[in-house]
Structure formats: structure tokens, C-alpha cells
Amino acid sequence: GQQLNQSPQSMFIQEGEDVSMNCTSSSIFNTWLWYKQDPGEGPVLLIALYKAGELTSNGRLTAQFGITRKDSFLNISASIPSDVGIYFCFGSGGSNYKLTFGKGTLLTVNP
């Protein structure tokens, strides 16, 4: 199936640093969704974006829906140890039930 290009694949940072990750696609999407997966658990929705250019925050997290509708980024500010996990981007064209998603960014935060 189709996948998004998500980068970086992994990141090792120190506590307190800011983090940025992004997803790009050759397809246009109506919706971008960012999920976080804790080790051994299922992904949980962090932020949903529904409009090109939209910038949305959820605490220390900020995500943007690219103007071209083919990309999105997620920023985490002042990282803490509990930010550790895999972050996935999901794109939806809205016309079917299936989401397209990236392979994930594995984030490790060193205390």
C-alpha cells in the first residue's frame, strides 16, 4: 500500500531540546493526523489538521498542514523523557476508509 515519506526515521535528543519531524507525499490530502505510539501500546491521536495552512497546538506540540496539502510537520518543544515513542503521520483523502501513513519517527530523549 501507499506510504508517506516521514523523516527522520529516528532521533536521539537531550531533554529540553526542541524536535521537528515531517511528512511529505505526492498525493494531496484533506486531513493530516499525527499519532504517538508508546512502547508496547497502540498509537494515540495527538493532533488533527483539516485545512491547508492550518497551524494547531496541543500543549508543547505544534503541527501544520502544508499549503500544498502534500506535507505536514510536527514540532515538540522542550522535550521531556515521556516524549519517547514512535510518532506517525497519517494522511486522509477522505474518499475512502483507509488512511495512508508514514513509517514513523522513533524519538529517544536522554534525561
Provide the binding-site residues for another protein, judged by CB under 8 A: 1, 3, 9, 30-31, 33, 35, 40-45, 48, 50, 88, 90, 92, 94-99, 101-104
Q: How far is the CB of 38 from another protein (least distance, A)?
A: 10
Q: How far is the CB of 94 from another protein (least distance, A)?
A: 5
Residue with Cβ nearer another protein (73 or 101): 101
Q: How far is the CB of 46 from another protein (least distance, A)?
A: 10
Residue with Cβ nearer another protein (1 or 59): 1
One-character DSSP codes across 41-80: S--EEEEEE-STT-EEEETTEEEEE-TTSSEEEEEE-S--
Angle at 100 between CA 94 and CA 103, to 5 degrees: 155
Tell me 94's DSSP state.
S
